[in-house]
Structure 1
Amino acid sequence: METMRVTANGIEQAVHTWGPLDGTPLLLVHGNCSSGLFWEPFVRTRLGGDDGPWRVVAPDLRGYGESETAPVDGTRGLGDFADDVAALLDAEGLFPAGTRPWVGAHSMGGGIVMQLAVDHPDRVAGLLLEAPLSPYGFGGTRDVDGTPTTEDYAGTGAGAVNPDFVARLAAKDRSGEEPTAPRTVLRTAYVSDASVLGDDEEAMLDTVLSTATGEDNYPGDAGASHNWPMSGPGTRGVTNAMSPKYFGVADALVGLEPKPPVEWVRGDADVIVSDTSLFDLAYLGQLGVVPGWPGAEACPPQPMVAQTRAVLERYAAAGGSFTETVLEGCGHSPHLERPAEFLAALERLAAQANSR
């Protein structure tokens, strides 16, 4: 592996690369509270690392890993991140000029690459979406059409983030005793069975702890609301960028031309991106964890998975194609938990794109 420092879109980005420059091009985009090295175990064990046939490029997004801690404008949705990634497509030394890579993305990264595809449809050969953010954002919507639960998107954005988790991130806490400790979250939310982390656990925790915290980065600034839970999105930082107030690509994705093939891989034991997400305040309210929940009619949990499926079905009906792979007993990170199945989806995607 080589880590390069690339100035693109006006910021210095750390980019991890493996394989020959003329290898099969693969761009991997990580999710929230991780970094490009969250992909390293999969690349090393399944893609052959630097000796494999793939040219793998995995950037650290702004405010993560070793990239510059540049601010995130939440009002642009995931646009800042998508622009950063787009700028890398033509950066010297990463891919040959004019390359259209296959693109894999995890969690929030799924939303980023959906935005990338919408903005630059001619630069993406195919999308591998791993436990992706809903095309309607995170939280605050009530049905498969992405209808807002309240007019001010209450319960989304930075105000929905546990402040103790943020404090422990900022302190680089490596303990695992408390539910809000980053190690505990890695073991119980990122994967369904912590034993799959094995000898890579410390390195994976490093990626989580690389997250820059604050109002300009993670989680961002919180806003107030007169609706339960009395908080709403602010305008700065990562979680506000995922609020449906600012992020939504469903219609643009369905209307995309050309339409790259899509592989969607998820675990049925995912507790982060789920129709019953333990990170959705509406679902936590339904469970009685967050007091004052106004009930299912006023504030139902977001049907995240159902929303993604509905949008991809519309995408297919409009001339695109997608395959949904559901892995039994798998959590939020199939590339770590079920790497063979994840590799099969990647190879299937590449075969589809090659046949077009």
Structure 2
Amino acid sequence: MSRILYTKPSITALEIEFVTDAITHGWGDDCYGYIQRFEKEFAQYVGTSKAIATASCTGALHLGLAALGIGPGDEVILADTNWVASLAPILYLGATPIFVDVLPDTWCLDPAQVEQAITAKTKAIIAVHLYGNLCDMDRLLALSQSTGIPLIEDAAEAVGSVWHGHHAGSMGRFGVFSFHGTKTLSTGEGGIFVTHDDALYDRVLTLSNHGRAANQPKQFWPDLLGYKYKMSNLQAALGCAQLQRVDELVARKREILHYYRQAFAHIPAISMNPEPVGTQNGAWMPTLVVSQEAGITTDQMRAAFQAQAVDARVFFHPLSTLPFIQQTPQPTSLSLAERGLNLPSYHDMTTADLNKIVQIVYGLFS
């Protein structure tokens, strides 16, 4: 039985050509060529003035929070439904994560609960565009403006998602993206920091390279203690090739999500990634959530998929339930984790692959 993976990157001759060129020629004076090109072209794509390519999205978020001066005694608000990568940099810096619940339809940060959670110690709000779904940016940006608290966009999963003409990641104080091998646009591993804030950009650029300032004339001289979070030239070459195909990559992801949506439209107990009027869902990870009344759990769905050699991912567990946190989980976040499932979605899936997945889901309701 041929196995259907939940996701994998789309690699063509173009990517191989770019990486081969980087391996052959990207050394010495040209060792940053693809990095600089990737940063410039990605910033243009999402509509920001600056970008810094990093070793991971986690690293990009860590750098941004550190550049804002966040540390011990500070609080950072984020949704309980998230991957640990959104939480870890807060803990690295000694700050305190404050978990709030998500909305039941978008599975993203609830602005009303964010407002209630703000204290004098709140130094940032992290809005994660989960699975390509978009947070309510109008309400969150208004809240950020009225309080002066920076709004950060974790757009790790949201390449191609657009909020009323603005790309995810381009609207907050800064945004971060992931290019892990599972993502729509991939560099194997890697991430990027984007912003319109020149001063913040300069600070992050210094922190990302062992604390060495770009304008420091003294060779091998760190002005402050920084990190080693730079992306490699080889990874950036792959990213440059993927960027040339980004519209095609996003369109195929959206096509797969639309296929699932249409197939499950006749099952009222299933809801999927939303796409409110005026927005575009980048559709990184098509996800279904079964109503509580249906009584079908995530574990039951995964077992049915595994029996047919089909991969599927669980909905993210509430961060509050992790062993190094152990807090009371937010109710909607906990409920979604018990009845949600990420469906397979990669660019060269066949119609037969998609139909097999649809049949498995229908079998759960028969």
Fold-level similarity (TM above 0.5): no
Structure holding more helix per residue: 2
Q: Larger radius of gyration, structure 1 or 2? A: 2
Q: Choose between structure 1 and 2 for higher RCO, CA contacts under 8 A separated by at least 6 residues.
A: 2
TM-score, normalised to structure 2, is: 0.29
TM-score, normalised to structure 1, is: 0.30
